[in-house]
Amino acid sequence: MFSAGLRVRLAALIAAGAAIVCAPPVSADSLPQAPQPTAANSPAPAITLMQAMALAIRNDPAFAAASATAGSARLDAAISRNALLPNASASGVYTYTQPSGFIADNAPYGLRVLPIFVANDSIHEYWAQLLVNQTISLPNIAAWRRSRAAASQASADLGSARRDLLVRVVAAYYGVIDTAEKAAVAQRALNEAQSFTDLTRKLEKGREVAHADVVKADLSLQQRQRDFADATLAAEKARLDLGVLLFPDPRTPYTLPDQNQLPGPLPDEATVQTDAAHNNPDLRSALSALKAAQSEVWASRLAYLPTIGLNYTYGINAPELAANAPGGVRNLGYSASVTINMPVWDWFSTQDKVRQSELHAKAAQAALTNTQRLLIAQLDEDYNDARVAAAQVSSLQASVDTARESLRLTRLRYSAGEALALEVVDAENSLAQAESALADGRLRAQVARANLQTLTGVL
């Protein structure tokens, strides 16, 4: 009926199936395990969430760049403020000029050989003076106000960078806890599958169940082994991801304390909105950007006005470096000057700068309005997410308890011959899924609370 080649292939397939069914179960010890610190190393430190945040702030390059930008903006504001204040400088000059050969009888210091250059007063000339200058300019005052607003905006942007970093740290921190809990769930599911496989083999030897139950238990065990390997790999990847944020070497061993306890109840929504209005860094950044743009408009308009410069000079400008000349003339003296610069014609450049700054101010106003809208929506979303996530944790815990009791009863019914192997496997799957969902629910609740706290400036 069958050809010789076909009979050979069928025999090979039957033998391969029998080898899979009858293969001895693989123990959990043979699966890949997460690397553990050696005994020679010091014990791994326990890192709390606040310590993780501090380490991430210290090591993150994006936050360091934002901090440098904010510091530079503060220095720019200080430089603009100092430009409004009087400045003083001291100078000393000695000038030698070739003599012309003529002698001046009416020189102020007596008979003197005149220098060859008209602009010089004598052959030997000494300058030792103290110079004080002050510029009175309304555009400079506006520039100072603009630099202060820019410094405030950079400070708010630094707060936004810190918030974004903390959100990443919180997600990575609780992600480690979540994946570790899922690995523990996979380990428990593997143990349950191993126990059920042992039970079916025992009952098969007593001829109480069919060999099909053993096959079903073996298939479930093999799947649990693969799930455990994947969960262990995901847990190690999450540890490395958090290690990248915290340590120079992401392989540095560390432990996390038990964080299964959720934080206290949520504050009322009115308090959350008030805190966000006063402490949200994005809103402060948009407000500072608008102030900077308005200061730019003011500065460009003030460019139509004149500027006044004041100069006061005190010192020596004489042929001798001395307070008094040989003829009794006093060398020390002072001079003062006032300069007024009046803008007359600049080919409408000032007018164009005014229009340009007004466009920037309109754009900043639109950005502020959009930031306010986004903040209102984000607050509602995060508050509702945190409220629902916290409420679902207790429901997920109840589901775990129910699934665990269902598995216990199903195992008892199977041992009594009243349930099928498929029912036991389904109960095991339900318990593993419920425990994984509980771990995800705790992660969601913690991250949602952290997102809400970063929006309100609590973190």
CATH (domain of 407): 1.20.1600.10
Within-domain flag for 217: no
155 located within any domain: yes
Per-residue model confidence (pLDDT) at position 43: 72
- What pLDDT, on a 0 to 100 scale, did the predictor assign at position 22? 37
Domain that holds residue 291: 45-85+137-169+257-304+348-456
Question: Is residue 177 a part of any domain in this protein?
Answer: no
The pLDDT assigned to 185 comes to 92
pLDDT the model gives residue 316: 86
Q: Are 459 and 163 in contact (CB under 8 A)?
A: yes
- Model pLDDT, residue 259: 59
Tens of pLDDT, residues 214-262: 899 999 999 999 999 999 999 999 999 999 999 999 999 999 886 556 6
50 is a domain residue: yes
Sites in the chain below the pLDDT cut of 70: 1-42, 100-114, 116-120, 258-264, 459
How far apart CA 68 and CA 66 sit, in angstroms, is 5
Q: Is residue 32 part of a domain?
A: no
Phi, psi dihedral angles at 333 (to 5 degrees): -170, 180
In a domain, 268, yes or no: yes
**What confidence score (pLDDT) does residue 118 get?**
61
Q: What is the pLDDT of residue 106?
A: 59
Number of domains, the chain = 1
Answer whether residue 22 is part of any domain: no
The pLDDT, as a whole number, for residue 262 is 61
Is 74 inside a domain boundary? Answer: yes
Place of tokens 């919180």: 170
* pLDDT reported for residue 10: 35
The pTM of this model reads: 0.70
